[in-house]
Chain A
Amino acid sequence: MEVDSQEQLQRKQSTYLSLDENFEIQKEVYRGQQYSQIYFARLHMMRTLLYSLVPNWKSHLPVCTVLELKEGKECIIFGTLYKHMKLKPCILDEYSKERSVAPLIKPHNFMHQDDYLVLEDESGRVKLGGTKLSPSVYVTGVVVALHGKETSAGAFFVEDVLEAGLPPQIKRPLKSREDKYVVFVSGLSIGRSSSNPLQFQLLVDHITGHLGDEEEQGLAAEIVHLVIVGNSVEISRGLLNGQNLASKDQSRLCEPFKELDILLTQIAASLPLDIMPGSSDPANFALPQQPLNRCLFPGSTTYNTFRSCTNPHCFELDSIRFLGTSGQNIDDLTKYSEAKDKLDFLERTLRWRHLAPTAPNTLGCYPFTDRDPFLIDSCPDVYFVGNQEKYETCLLKGLEGQLVRLICIPRFCETGVAVVLNMRNLECHALTFGTQISS
Protein backbone atom coordinates (compact mmCIF):
# COMPACT_ATOMS: atom_id res chain seq x y z
CA MET A 1 0.00 0.00 0.00
CA GLU A 2 1.67 3.19 -1.13
CA VAL A 3 0.92 5.89 1.35
CA ASP A 4 2.24 9.40 1.37
CA SER A 5 3.93 9.85 4.71
CA GLN A 6 2.15 13.16 5.18
CA GLU A 7 -1.33 11.61 4.95
CA GLN A 8 -2.92 9.69 7.75
CA LEU A 9 -3.38 5.98 7.21
CA GLN A 10 -7.05 5.05 7.08
CA ARG A 11 -8.22 1.90 8.79
CA LYS A 12 -10.46 -0.33 6.71
CA GLN A 13 -14.02 -0.73 7.78
CA SER A 14 -16.66 -3.39 7.61
CA THR A 15 -20.35 -3.54 8.30
CA TYR A 16 -21.31 -5.13 11.58
CA LEU A 17 -24.56 -6.85 12.43
CA SER A 18 -25.24 -8.27 15.87
CA LEU A 19 -27.28 -11.47 16.08
CA ASP A 20 -27.22 -11.79 19.86
CA GLU A 21 -30.95 -11.26 20.48
CA ASN A 22 -31.50 -14.93 20.91
CA PHE A 23 -29.08 -15.02 23.80
CA GLU A 24 -30.51 -12.13 25.76
CA ILE A 25 -32.69 -12.93 28.73
CA GLN A 26 -34.02 -9.50 29.70
CA LYS A 27 -37.48 -10.40 28.44
CA GLU A 28 -37.58 -13.76 30.13
CA VAL A 29 -39.65 -14.12 33.29
CA TYR A 30 -38.94 -16.84 35.78
CA ARG A 31 -42.17 -18.46 36.93
CA GLY A 32 -40.73 -21.44 38.71
CA GLN A 33 -40.38 -23.51 35.57
CA GLN A 34 -38.11 -26.50 35.45
CA TYR A 35 -35.68 -27.60 32.79
CA SER A 36 -38.20 -29.96 31.20
CA GLN A 37 -39.41 -27.00 29.14
CA ILE A 38 -36.08 -26.39 27.42
CA TYR A 39 -35.64 -30.11 26.77
CA PHE A 40 -39.09 -30.23 25.21
CA ALA A 41 -38.31 -27.29 22.96
CA ARG A 42 -35.02 -28.89 21.95
CA LEU A 43 -36.57 -32.29 21.26
CA HIS A 44 -39.40 -30.80 19.25
CA MET A 45 -37.20 -28.61 17.05
CA MET A 46 -34.62 -31.31 16.43
CA ARG A 47 -37.18 -34.03 15.90
CA THR A 48 -38.99 -31.99 13.25
CA LEU A 49 -35.66 -31.47 11.54
CA LEU A 50 -34.55 -35.11 11.77
CA TYR A 51 -37.94 -36.26 10.56
CA SER A 52 -37.41 -34.30 7.36
CA LEU A 53 -34.01 -35.94 6.91
CA VAL A 54 -35.22 -39.52 7.42
CA PRO A 55 -36.62 -40.06 3.89
CA ASN A 56 -33.12 -39.49 2.46
CA TRP A 57 -31.62 -41.84 5.01
CA LYS A 58 -33.89 -44.86 5.33
CA SER A 59 -37.27 -44.20 3.84
CA HIS A 60 -38.65 -47.71 4.10
CA LEU A 61 -38.69 -48.01 7.87
CA PRO A 62 -41.58 -46.98 10.12
CA VAL A 63 -41.15 -44.30 12.76
CA CYS A 64 -42.42 -44.89 16.26
CA THR A 65 -42.15 -43.55 19.78
CA VAL A 66 -40.27 -45.31 22.55
CA LEU A 67 -43.42 -46.72 24.12
CA GLU A 68 -44.59 -48.14 20.81
CA LEU A 69 -41.49 -50.30 20.44
CA LYS A 70 -42.16 -53.97 19.86
CA GLU A 71 -39.63 -56.71 20.24
CA GLY A 72 -37.98 -57.55 16.96
CA LYS A 73 -39.71 -54.79 15.00
CA GLU A 74 -37.20 -52.76 13.04
CA CYS A 75 -38.01 -49.07 13.21
CA ILE A 76 -36.69 -45.56 13.66
CA ILE A 77 -37.00 -43.70 16.94
CA PHE A 78 -36.18 -40.09 17.80
CA GLY A 79 -35.17 -38.85 21.20
CA THR A 80 -32.70 -37.14 23.47
CA LEU A 81 -29.67 -39.11 24.56
CA TYR A 82 -28.89 -39.51 28.22
CA LYS A 83 -25.54 -40.89 29.26
CA HIS A 84 -25.46 -42.74 32.52
CA MET A 85 -22.01 -42.15 33.99
CA LYS A 86 -20.67 -44.03 36.96
CA LEU A 87 -18.14 -41.40 37.93
CA LYS A 88 -20.34 -38.38 37.42
CA PRO A 89 -20.44 -36.50 40.70
CA CYS A 90 -23.82 -36.80 42.35
CA ILE A 91 -24.95 -34.85 45.36
CA LEU A 92 -26.26 -38.04 46.88
CA ASP A 93 -22.77 -39.51 47.09
CA GLU A 94 -22.19 -37.39 50.15
CA TYR A 95 -24.96 -39.23 51.92
CA SER A 96 -24.18 -42.78 50.90
CA LYS A 97 -23.25 -44.97 53.79
CA GLU A 98 -20.68 -47.02 51.96
CA ARG A 99 -17.60 -45.67 50.30
CA SER A 100 -18.52 -44.90 46.72
CA VAL A 101 -16.50 -45.76 43.66
CA ALA A 102 -15.88 -42.12 42.92
CA PRO A 103 -12.57 -40.87 44.30
CA LEU A 104 -12.54 -37.85 46.55
CA ILE A 105 -10.40 -35.86 44.15
CA LYS A 106 -12.40 -34.90 41.10
CA PRO A 107 -10.90 -36.34 37.96
CA HIS A 108 -10.72 -34.01 35.01
CA ASN A 109 -12.72 -36.48 32.95
CA PHE A 110 -15.62 -38.51 34.30
CA MET A 111 -15.70 -41.27 31.74
CA HIS A 112 -15.79 -44.91 32.67
CA GLN A 113 -16.02 -48.01 30.51
CA ASP A 114 -19.34 -48.95 32.12
CA ASP A 115 -21.10 -45.80 30.88
CA TYR A 116 -24.15 -46.50 28.78
CA LEU A 117 -26.57 -44.45 26.71
CA VAL A 118 -30.32 -44.20 27.07
CA LEU A 119 -32.72 -42.65 24.56
CA GLU A 120 -35.63 -40.66 25.93
CA ASP A 121 -38.68 -39.02 24.40
CA GLU A 122 -41.97 -37.83 25.89
CA SER A 123 -43.37 -41.34 26.17
CA GLY A 124 -40.47 -43.14 27.79
CA ARG A 125 -36.85 -44.14 27.75
CA VAL A 126 -34.98 -47.16 26.50
CA LYS A 127 -31.45 -48.36 27.13
CA LEU A 128 -29.31 -48.49 24.01
CA GLY A 129 -27.23 -51.49 23.04
CA GLY A 130 -24.99 -52.40 20.19
CA THR A 131 -21.62 -50.98 19.23
CA LYS A 132 -22.68 -48.39 16.69
CA LEU A 133 -23.25 -45.68 19.26
CA SER A 134 -20.14 -45.14 21.31
CA PRO A 135 -20.73 -43.72 24.80
CA SER A 136 -17.34 -42.03 24.70
CA VAL A 137 -18.41 -39.80 21.82
CA TYR A 138 -21.92 -38.81 22.82
CA VAL A 139 -23.14 -36.78 25.77
CA THR A 140 -26.46 -36.17 27.47
CA GLY A 141 -28.64 -33.75 25.58
CA VAL A 142 -27.93 -34.66 21.97
CA VAL A 143 -31.02 -35.38 19.88
CA VAL A 144 -30.61 -38.14 17.31
CA ALA A 145 -32.60 -40.58 15.22
CA LEU A 146 -31.80 -44.26 15.67
CA HIS A 147 -32.49 -47.22 13.47
CA GLY A 148 -32.68 -50.55 15.23
CA LYS A 149 -34.94 -52.93 17.05
CA GLU A 150 -35.87 -53.87 20.55
CA THR A 151 -34.15 -56.93 21.96
CA SER A 152 -35.63 -59.50 24.29
CA ALA A 153 -33.79 -57.90 27.18
CA GLY A 154 -35.79 -54.73 26.67
CA ALA A 155 -32.93 -52.70 25.30
CA PHE A 156 -32.81 -51.11 21.87
CA PHE A 157 -30.14 -52.55 19.62
CA VAL A 158 -28.82 -49.71 17.48
CA GLU A 159 -27.97 -50.47 13.87
CA ASP A 160 -27.50 -46.95 12.60
CA VAL A 161 -27.50 -43.34 13.83
CA LEU A 162 -28.66 -40.20 12.12
CA GLU A 163 -27.32 -36.91 13.42
CA ALA A 164 -28.68 -33.63 12.14
CA GLY A 165 -25.44 -32.83 10.36
CA LEU A 166 -24.08 -29.40 9.50
CA PRO A 167 -26.84 -26.80 9.17
CA PRO A 168 -27.39 -25.11 5.82
CA GLN A 169 -25.09 -22.20 5.14
CA ILE A 170 -26.07 -18.97 3.44
CA LYS A 171 -23.90 -18.53 0.40
CA ARG A 172 -21.75 -15.42 0.60
CA PRO A 173 -21.47 -13.16 -2.44
CA LEU A 174 -18.36 -14.15 -4.33
CA LYS A 175 -17.09 -10.69 -5.13
CA SER A 176 -13.34 -10.44 -4.71
CA ARG A 177 -12.61 -8.98 -1.39
CA GLU A 178 -9.65 -7.14 -0.11
CA ASP A 179 -7.66 -8.39 2.83
CA LYS A 180 -9.45 -7.52 6.04
CA TYR A 181 -8.45 -9.04 9.33
CA VAL A 182 -10.29 -9.89 12.51
CA VAL A 183 -8.26 -10.44 15.68
CA PHE A 184 -9.42 -12.84 18.40
CA VAL A 185 -7.88 -12.85 21.85
CA SER A 186 -9.09 -14.58 25.00
CA GLY A 187 -8.06 -15.31 28.56
CA LEU A 188 -6.35 -12.00 29.28
CA SER A 189 -6.87 -12.73 33.00
CA ILE A 190 -5.92 -9.24 34.13
CA GLY A 191 -5.58 -9.38 37.88
CA ARG A 192 -3.85 -12.72 37.95
CA SER A 193 -0.43 -12.43 39.53
CA SER A 194 1.22 -14.20 36.59
CA SER A 195 -0.36 -12.05 33.89
CA ASN A 196 2.10 -9.75 32.15
CA PRO A 197 0.59 -6.35 31.35
CA LEU A 198 3.30 -5.66 28.81
CA GLN A 199 2.12 -8.47 26.56
CA PHE A 200 -1.39 -7.09 26.19
CA GLN A 201 -0.04 -3.58 25.84
CA LEU A 202 2.09 -4.82 22.95
CA LEU A 203 -1.01 -6.30 21.34
CA VAL A 204 -2.90 -3.04 21.78
CA ASP A 205 -0.03 -1.02 20.36
CA HIS A 206 0.27 -3.32 17.38
CA ILE A 207 -3.42 -3.18 16.56
CA THR A 208 -3.69 0.55 17.00
CA GLY A 209 -0.70 1.12 14.79
CA HIS A 210 1.68 2.52 17.34
CA LEU A 211 4.32 -0.07 16.59
CA GLY A 212 6.56 -0.49 13.64
CA ASP A 213 7.17 1.36 10.42
CA GLU A 214 4.72 2.26 7.68
CA GLU A 215 4.53 -1.24 6.31
CA GLU A 216 3.71 -2.60 9.73
CA GLN A 217 1.17 0.14 10.24
CA GLY A 218 -0.30 -0.68 6.86
CA LEU A 219 -0.88 -4.22 8.02
CA ALA A 220 -2.44 -3.00 11.22
CA ALA A 221 -4.75 -0.73 9.24
CA GLU A 222 -6.25 -3.83 7.65
CA ILE A 223 -7.49 -5.08 11.02
CA VAL A 224 -11.16 -4.19 11.12
CA HIS A 225 -12.38 -5.81 14.32
CA LEU A 226 -11.22 -7.21 17.64
CA VAL A 227 -13.09 -9.84 19.64
CA ILE A 228 -12.14 -10.49 23.25
CA VAL A 229 -13.43 -13.95 23.99
CA GLY A 230 -13.96 -14.15 27.74
CA ASN A 231 -11.95 -14.31 30.96
CA SER A 232 -10.62 -10.79 30.65
CA VAL A 233 -10.26 -10.35 34.39
CA GLU A 234 -9.44 -12.62 37.22
CA ILE A 235 -10.26 -11.63 40.77
CA SER A 236 -8.10 -13.33 43.35
CA ARG A 237 -9.89 -16.00 45.32
CA GLY A 238 -8.93 -14.48 48.64
CA LEU A 239 -11.12 -11.47 47.99
CA LEU A 240 -14.17 -13.56 47.17
CA ASN A 241 -14.48 -15.70 50.26
CA GLY A 242 -17.77 -14.14 51.26
CA GLN A 243 -16.52 -11.97 54.07
CA ASN A 244 -16.86 -8.22 54.23
CA LEU A 245 -13.99 -6.46 52.56
CA ALA A 246 -11.95 -3.83 54.29
CA SER A 247 -11.82 -0.56 52.40
CA LYS A 248 -8.28 -1.14 51.24
CA ASP A 249 -9.29 -4.49 49.81
CA GLN A 250 -12.20 -2.96 47.96
CA SER A 251 -9.85 -0.94 45.84
CA ARG A 252 -7.91 -4.13 45.11
CA LEU A 253 -11.15 -5.61 43.82
CA CYS A 254 -11.57 -2.84 41.28
CA GLU A 255 -7.99 -2.66 40.07
CA PRO A 256 -8.24 -5.33 37.37
CA PHE A 257 -11.23 -3.54 35.87
CA LYS A 258 -9.51 -0.18 35.87
CA GLU A 259 -6.52 -1.69 34.14
CA LEU A 260 -8.72 -3.42 31.58
CA ASP A 261 -10.69 -0.26 30.97
CA ILE A 262 -7.56 1.75 30.27
CA LEU A 263 -6.45 -0.79 27.70
CA LEU A 264 -9.89 -1.12 26.14
CA THR A 265 -10.21 2.64 25.82
CA GLN A 266 -7.03 2.69 23.74
CA ILE A 267 -8.46 0.00 21.51
CA ALA A 268 -11.97 1.43 21.26
CA ALA A 269 -10.52 4.76 20.15
CA SER A 270 -9.01 2.97 17.21
CA LEU A 271 -11.27 0.17 16.01
CA PRO A 272 -14.54 -1.63 16.85
CA LEU A 273 -14.25 -4.19 19.57
CA ASP A 274 -16.54 -6.81 21.10
CA ILE A 275 -15.98 -8.11 24.61
CA MET A 276 -17.60 -11.36 25.72
CA PRO A 277 -17.92 -12.57 29.31
CA GLY A 278 -16.22 -15.78 30.38
CA SER A 279 -16.28 -18.07 33.37
CA SER A 280 -14.05 -15.83 35.49
CA ASP A 281 -15.71 -12.55 34.51
CA PRO A 282 -18.33 -10.77 36.65
CA ALA A 283 -21.32 -11.93 34.65
CA ASN A 284 -24.02 -14.47 35.45
CA PHE A 285 -22.91 -18.06 35.78
CA ALA A 286 -25.57 -19.78 33.70
CA LEU A 287 -25.38 -19.73 29.94
CA PRO A 288 -26.21 -17.62 28.00
CA GLN A 289 -24.03 -15.17 29.89
CA GLN A 290 -25.29 -11.63 29.63
CA PRO A 291 -23.12 -8.74 28.46
CA LEU A 292 -20.74 -7.28 31.02
CA ASN A 293 -22.18 -4.18 32.61
CA ARG A 294 -21.21 -0.89 31.00
CA CYS A 295 -20.41 0.56 34.43
CA LEU A 296 -17.33 -1.65 34.55
CA PHE A 297 -15.86 0.25 31.62
CA PRO A 298 -16.41 3.95 32.27
CA GLY A 299 -13.76 5.00 29.80
CA SER A 300 -14.49 2.62 26.93
CA THR A 301 -18.26 2.89 26.85
CA THR A 302 -18.00 6.48 25.73
CA TYR A 303 -16.95 5.13 22.35
CA ASN A 304 -19.59 3.65 20.10
CA THR A 305 -17.00 1.20 18.85
CA PHE A 306 -17.12 -0.57 22.20
CA ARG A 307 -19.66 -3.39 22.37
CA SER A 308 -20.33 -5.59 25.35
CA CYS A 309 -21.73 -8.88 24.05
CA THR A 310 -23.28 -12.08 25.30
CA ASN A 311 -21.63 -15.46 25.56
CA PRO A 312 -22.33 -17.24 23.13
CA HIS A 313 -21.82 -14.45 20.62
CA CYS A 314 -23.09 -14.39 17.06
CA PHE A 315 -22.47 -11.56 14.63
CA GLU A 316 -21.89 -10.78 11.00
CA LEU A 317 -19.06 -8.75 9.52
CA ASP A 318 -19.48 -7.92 5.84
CA SER A 319 -22.09 -10.70 5.79
CA ILE A 320 -19.62 -13.32 7.05
CA ARG A 321 -21.24 -15.07 10.00
CA PHE A 322 -19.22 -15.59 13.17
CA LEU A 323 -20.35 -17.74 16.07
CA GLY A 324 -18.41 -18.56 19.20
CA THR A 325 -18.28 -19.06 22.94
CA SER A 326 -15.84 -18.37 25.75
CA GLY A 327 -15.16 -22.07 26.23
CA GLN A 328 -17.58 -23.34 28.86
CA ASN A 329 -19.42 -25.57 26.39
CA ILE A 330 -16.28 -27.24 25.03
CA ASP A 331 -14.74 -27.59 28.48
CA ASP A 332 -17.86 -29.39 29.61
CA LEU A 333 -17.70 -31.73 26.63
CA THR A 334 -14.07 -32.45 27.56
CA LYS A 335 -15.19 -33.57 31.00
CA TYR A 336 -17.90 -35.90 29.80
CA SER A 337 -16.66 -37.31 26.52
CA GLU A 338 -13.42 -37.69 24.62
CA ALA A 339 -12.01 -36.72 21.26
CA LYS A 340 -8.60 -36.50 19.69
CA ASP A 341 -8.54 -32.72 19.92
CA LYS A 342 -10.70 -29.71 20.73
CA LEU A 343 -11.48 -29.11 17.07
CA ASP A 344 -13.21 -32.46 17.11
CA PHE A 345 -15.53 -31.25 19.85
CA LEU A 346 -16.26 -28.10 17.84
CA GLU A 347 -17.10 -30.19 14.82
CA ARG A 348 -19.38 -32.42 16.87
CA THR A 349 -21.37 -29.51 18.23
CA LEU A 350 -21.91 -28.32 14.67
CA ARG A 351 -22.99 -31.76 13.51
CA TRP A 352 -25.38 -32.02 16.42
CA ARG A 353 -26.53 -28.45 15.61
CA HIS A 354 -26.31 -27.53 19.26
CA LEU A 355 -23.77 -25.21 20.89
CA ALA A 356 -23.98 -26.73 24.34
CA PRO A 357 -25.73 -30.10 24.43
CA THR A 358 -24.72 -30.74 28.03
CA ALA A 359 -26.71 -27.69 29.15
CA PRO A 360 -28.69 -27.85 31.43
CA ASN A 361 -27.52 -31.28 32.60
CA THR A 362 -23.99 -30.42 33.69
CA LEU A 363 -23.62 -26.89 32.35
CA GLY A 364 -25.51 -24.06 33.99
CA CYS A 365 -28.30 -22.78 31.80
CA TYR A 366 -31.29 -20.45 32.07
CA PRO A 367 -34.60 -22.38 32.09
CA PHE A 368 -36.13 -21.13 28.87
CA THR A 369 -39.74 -22.15 28.34
CA ASP A 370 -40.42 -21.62 24.70
CA ARG A 371 -37.14 -22.12 22.89
CA ASP A 372 -33.64 -23.49 23.07
CA PRO A 373 -31.35 -20.61 22.07
CA PHE A 374 -28.32 -22.85 21.62
CA LEU A 375 -29.69 -24.59 18.56
CA ILE A 376 -27.68 -23.66 15.49
CA ASP A 377 -30.03 -22.93 12.58
CA SER A 378 -27.60 -21.55 10.08
CA CYS A 379 -24.03 -22.68 9.61
CA PRO A 380 -21.54 -19.99 10.56
CA ASP A 381 -18.53 -19.21 8.37
CA VAL A 382 -16.28 -18.90 11.40
CA TYR A 383 -16.84 -20.91 14.57
CA PHE A 384 -14.57 -20.12 17.49
CA VAL A 385 -14.05 -21.09 21.10
CA GLY A 386 -11.91 -19.21 23.59
CA ASN A 387 -9.76 -20.05 26.60
CA GLN A 388 -8.26 -23.24 25.28
CA GLU A 389 -4.78 -24.59 25.92
CA LYS A 390 -3.36 -24.02 22.49
CA TYR A 391 -4.06 -22.47 19.12
CA GLU A 392 -5.68 -24.92 16.72
CA THR A 393 -7.57 -24.37 13.54
CA CYS A 394 -8.98 -26.29 10.61
CA LEU A 395 -11.37 -25.83 7.72
CA LEU A 396 -14.46 -27.98 7.90
CA LYS A 397 -16.24 -28.93 4.71
CA GLY A 398 -19.85 -30.01 4.79
CA LEU A 399 -21.75 -32.32 2.49
CA GLU A 400 -23.79 -29.50 1.00
CA GLY A 401 -20.82 -27.30 0.29
CA GLN A 402 -20.66 -25.61 3.66
CA LEU A 403 -17.27 -24.24 4.60
CA VAL A 404 -16.51 -23.39 8.21
CA ARG A 405 -13.30 -22.16 9.76
CA LEU A 406 -12.97 -23.72 13.24
CA ILE A 407 -10.71 -21.84 15.64
CA CYS A 408 -9.52 -22.66 19.15
CA ILE A 409 -8.20 -19.48 20.73
CA PRO A 410 -5.55 -20.01 23.40
CA ARG A 411 -5.38 -18.20 26.73
CA PHE A 412 -3.38 -15.05 26.14
CA CYS A 413 -1.97 -14.70 29.63
CA GLU A 414 -0.41 -18.16 29.40
CA THR A 415 0.65 -18.27 25.77
CA GLY A 416 0.82 -14.70 24.50
CA VAL A 417 -0.93 -15.84 21.33
CA ALA A 418 -3.76 -14.01 19.58
CA VAL A 419 -5.44 -15.29 16.43
CA VAL A 420 -5.82 -13.31 13.22
CA LEU A 421 -8.37 -14.27 10.58
CA ASN A 422 -8.39 -12.97 7.02
CA MET A 423 -11.99 -12.41 5.96
CA ARG A 424 -11.14 -12.68 2.29
CA ASN A 425 -10.18 -16.34 2.28
CA LEU A 426 -10.90 -17.44 5.89
CA GLU A 427 -7.24 -18.14 6.49
CA CYS A 428 -5.97 -17.96 9.99
CA HIS A 429 -2.64 -17.35 11.63
CA ALA A 430 -1.32 -16.78 15.11
CA LEU A 431 0.12 -13.55 16.43
CA THR A 432 2.52 -14.17 19.26
CA PHE A 433 3.72 -11.53 21.67
CA GLY A 434 6.73 -12.23 23.81
CA THR A 435 8.40 -10.07 26.37
CA GLN A 436 11.42 -12.17 27.13
CA ILE A 437 14.60 -10.29 26.52
CA SER A 438 17.10 -12.81 25.26
CA SER A 439 20.41 -12.50 26.94
Chain B
Amino acid sequence: MATTSKNMNVFYRQKKNSSASTGKKSTKSPSPKHAATFGSDITQPPALVSHGGSLDLKDDFDEQEQVLRQFDMNMAYGPCVGITRLDRWERAQRMGLNPPKEIESLLRGGKVKLESLFDGRV
Protein backbone atom coordinates (compact mmCIF):
# COMPACT_ATOMS: atom_id res chain seq x y z
CA MET B 1 0.00 0.00 0.00
CA ALA B 2 1.93 2.97 -1.27
CA THR B 3 0.22 6.14 -0.32
CA THR B 4 1.83 9.23 -1.77
CA SER B 5 2.46 12.32 0.26
CA LYS B 6 -0.35 14.07 -1.56
CA ASN B 7 -2.88 11.63 -0.15
CA MET B 8 -1.45 12.10 3.30
CA ASN B 9 -1.99 15.84 3.08
CA VAL B 10 -5.60 15.24 2.16
CA PHE B 11 -5.89 12.94 5.12
CA TYR B 12 -4.51 15.57 7.42
CA ARG B 13 -6.97 18.17 6.24
CA GLN B 14 -9.66 16.17 7.88
CA LYS B 15 -7.98 16.40 11.22
CA LYS B 16 -8.21 19.22 13.73
CA ASN B 17 -7.30 22.53 12.15
CA SER B 18 -4.83 23.65 14.75
CA SER B 19 -2.46 20.73 14.47
CA ALA B 20 -3.05 20.23 10.74
CA SER B 21 -2.15 23.77 9.76
CA THR B 22 1.12 23.75 11.63
CA GLY B 23 1.79 20.19 10.65
CA LYS B 24 1.14 20.68 6.95
CA LYS B 25 4.04 22.99 6.25
CA SER B 26 6.61 20.55 7.48
CA THR B 27 5.03 17.53 5.80
CA LYS B 28 4.58 19.13 2.35
CA SER B 29 8.09 18.54 1.09
CA PRO B 30 8.86 14.96 1.99
CA SER B 31 12.21 14.98 3.71
CA PRO B 32 13.80 11.58 4.23
CA LYS B 33 12.86 11.56 7.90
CA HIS B 34 9.17 11.86 7.31
CA ALA B 35 9.15 9.77 4.18
CA ALA B 36 10.24 6.82 6.27
CA THR B 37 7.51 7.10 8.83
CA PHE B 38 4.65 7.75 6.39
CA GLY B 39 5.19 4.76 4.07
CA SER B 40 6.48 6.62 1.03
CA ASP B 41 8.11 5.51 -2.21
CA ILE B 42 11.32 4.68 -0.48
CA THR B 43 10.91 1.08 0.62
CA GLN B 44 11.99 0.68 4.16
CA PRO B 45 11.67 -2.61 6.06
CA PRO B 46 9.37 -1.97 9.00
CA ALA B 47 11.78 -3.49 11.46
CA LEU B 48 14.34 -0.80 10.84
CA VAL B 49 11.84 1.90 11.64
CA SER B 50 10.44 2.23 15.07
CA HIS B 51 8.88 5.20 16.66
CA GLY B 52 7.22 3.44 19.59
CA GLY B 53 3.86 4.96 18.87
CA SER B 54 4.99 8.55 18.92
CA LEU B 55 6.34 10.26 15.85
CA ASP B 56 9.76 11.24 17.05
CA LEU B 57 11.19 13.55 14.43
CA LYS B 58 14.79 12.98 15.43
CA ASP B 59 14.40 9.25 15.04
CA ASP B 60 16.88 6.53 14.14
CA PHE B 61 16.80 7.34 10.51
CA ASP B 62 19.66 9.67 10.04
CA GLU B 63 22.49 9.08 7.63
CA GLN B 64 25.07 8.00 10.14
CA GLU B 65 22.73 5.47 11.70
CA GLN B 66 21.87 4.20 8.24
CA VAL B 67 25.55 3.58 7.50
CA LEU B 68 25.99 1.84 10.83
CA ARG B 69 22.95 -0.32 10.19
CA GLN B 70 24.46 -1.45 6.91
CA PHE B 71 27.57 -2.38 8.89
CA ASP B 72 25.40 -4.34 11.36
CA MET B 73 23.67 -6.21 8.59
CA ASN B 74 26.83 -7.14 6.71
CA MET B 75 27.22 -10.91 7.03
CA ALA B 76 30.94 -10.86 6.40
CA TYR B 77 31.69 -9.44 9.84
CA GLY B 78 29.63 -12.00 11.72
CA PRO B 79 26.53 -11.75 13.87
CA CYS B 80 25.73 -8.36 15.36
CA VAL B 81 23.50 -9.47 18.25
CA GLY B 82 25.04 -9.34 21.72
CA ILE B 83 28.16 -7.38 20.81
CA THR B 84 28.70 -3.63 20.68
CA ARG B 85 29.38 -2.12 17.27
CA LEU B 86 32.86 -1.05 18.21
CA ASP B 87 33.75 -4.50 19.55
CA ARG B 88 32.43 -6.03 16.37
CA TRP B 89 34.49 -3.64 14.28
CA GLU B 90 37.61 -4.44 16.31
CA ARG B 91 36.96 -8.14 16.02
CA ALA B 92 36.61 -7.82 12.25
CA GLN B 93 39.84 -5.83 12.19
CA ARG B 94 41.70 -8.47 14.18
CA MET B 95 40.43 -11.22 11.93
CA GLY B 96 41.81 -9.42 8.90
CA LEU B 97 38.43 -8.66 7.34
CA ASN B 98 39.36 -5.00 6.68
CA PRO B 99 36.21 -3.26 7.85
CA PRO B 100 35.90 0.32 6.54
CA LYS B 101 37.77 2.87 8.60
CA GLU B 102 34.91 5.36 8.42
CA ILE B 103 32.83 3.12 10.64
CA GLU B 104 35.51 3.17 13.30
CA SER B 105 35.81 6.95 13.26
CA LEU B 106 32.05 7.25 13.36
CA LEU B 107 31.81 4.96 16.36
CA ARG B 108 34.62 6.65 18.22
CA GLY B 109 33.12 10.04 17.40
CA GLY B 110 30.53 9.44 20.07
CA LYS B 111 27.28 10.87 18.76
CA VAL B 112 25.99 7.56 17.47
CA LYS B 113 24.38 4.55 19.06
CA LEU B 114 27.07 2.14 20.17
CA GLU B 115 24.77 -0.82 20.40
CA SER B 116 23.73 -2.76 17.34
CA LEU B 117 20.43 -2.48 15.58
CA PHE B 118 18.84 -5.36 17.45
CA ASP B 119 19.99 -4.37 20.88
CA GLY B 120 17.21 -4.83 23.37
CA ARG B 121 14.81 -6.03 20.68
CA VAL B 122 15.94 -9.64 20.32
Per-residue CB contact flags for chain A residues 15-44 toward chain B (1 = under 8 Å, else 0) read 000000000000000011110110011001
For the complex, is B1 an interface residue (Cβ under 8 Å from A)? no
Which 5 residue pairs across A and B have the least CB separation, nearest first? A33-B82, A40-B78, A36-B79, A370-B91, A122-B75
Contact A33 B83, CB 8 Å, known A44-B95, A370-B94: yes
Contacts of A36 in B (CB 8 A): 78-79, 81
Contacts of A48 in B (CB 8 A): 96
A37 and B81 alpha carbons, distance in the complex (Å):
9
- Name A370's closest neighbour in chain B (CB-CB): B91
A369 touches B82 (CB 8 A): yes
For the complex, is A123 an interface residue (Cβ under 8 Å from B)? yes
A123 and B76 alpha carbons, distance in the complex (Å):
10
For the complex, is B27 an interface residue (Cβ under 8 Å from A)? no
- Name A65's closest neighbour in chain B (CB-CB): B75
B83 touches A37 (CB 8 A): yes
A33 touches B78 (CB 8 A): no
A34 touches B81 (CB 8 A): yes
B91 touches A369 (CB 8 A): yes
Contacts of B76 in A (CB 8 A): 122
For the complex, is B87 an interface residue (Cβ under 8 Å from A)? yes
A369 touches B81 (CB 8 A): no
A33 and B96 alpha carbons, distance in the complex (Å):
22
Contact A33 B81, CB 8 Å, known A123-B75, A369-B87: yes
8 contacts between A and B (CB under 8 A): A36-B79, A37-B78, A122-B75, A122-B76, A123-B75, A369-B91, A370-B87, A370-B90
New contact pairs (7) apart from A33-B83, A34-B79, A45-B95, CB-CB < 8 Å: A31-B82, A32-B82, A33-B81, A44-B95, A122-B78, A369-B82, A369-B91
Contacts of B94 in A (CB 8 A): 370
A34 and B118 alpha carbons, distance in the complex (Å):
13
Using CB atoms and an 8 Å cutoff, list the residues of chain A in contact with chain B. Answer: 31-34, 36-37, 40-41, 44-45, 48, 122-123, 367, 369-370
**Count of chain B residues with Cβ under 8 Å from any Cβ of A?**
15
A19 and B54 alpha carbons, distance in the complex (Å):
55
Per-residue CB contact flags for chain B residues 70-112 toward chain A (1 = under 8 Å, else 0) read 0000011011011110010011001111000000000000000
A31's partner among B79, B83, B91, B96 (CB-CB below 8 A) is B83
- Name B119's closest neighbour in chain A (CB-CB): A32
A44 touches B82 (CB 8 A): no
Closest Cβ of chain A to B34, distance in Å, is 34
A368 and B75 alpha carbons, distance in the complex (Å):
18
A369 and B75 alpha carbons, distance in the complex (Å):
15
Contacts of A370 in B (CB 8 A): 87, 90-91, 94
A116 and B1 alpha carbons, distance in the complex (Å):
44
Contacts of A34 in B (CB 8 A): 79, 81-82
- Name B91's closest neighbour in chain A (CB-CB): A370
Closest Cβ of chain A to B91, distance in Å, is 4
Contacts of A40 in B (CB 8 A): 78-79
Per-residue CB contact flags for chain B residues 9-48 toward chain A (1 = under 8 Å, else 0) read 0000000000000000000000000000000000000000
Contacts of A44 in B (CB 8 A): 78, 95, 97
A32 and B87 alpha carbons, distance in the complex (Å):
14
Contacts of A45 in B (CB 8 A): 95
Closest Cβ of chain B to A34, distance in Å, is 6
A161 and B101 alpha carbons, distance in the complex (Å):
38
Contacts of B81 in A (CB 8 A): 33-34, 36
A367 and B82 alpha carbons, distance in the complex (Å):
10
A369 touches B83 (CB 8 A): yes
Contacts of B75 in A (CB 8 A): 122-123
Contacts of A369 in B (CB 8 A): 82-83, 87, 91
- Name A36's closest neighbour in chain B (CB-CB): B79
Closest Cβ of chain B to A185, distance in Å, is 39
A31 and B79 alpha carbons, distance in the complex (Å):
14
Contacts of B79 in A (CB 8 A): 34, 36-37, 40
Contacts of B96 in A (CB 8 A): 48
Closest Cβ of chain B to A65, distance in Å, is 9
Contacts of B91 in A (CB 8 A): 41, 369-370
- Name B97's closest neighbour in chain A (CB-CB): A44
- Name A40's closest neighbour in chain B (CB-CB): B78
Contacts of B84 in A (CB 8 A): 31
Most buried by B among A34, A45, A122, A370: A370
- Name B115's closest neighbour in chain A (CB-CB): A31
A32 and B95 alpha carbons, distance in the complex (Å):
22
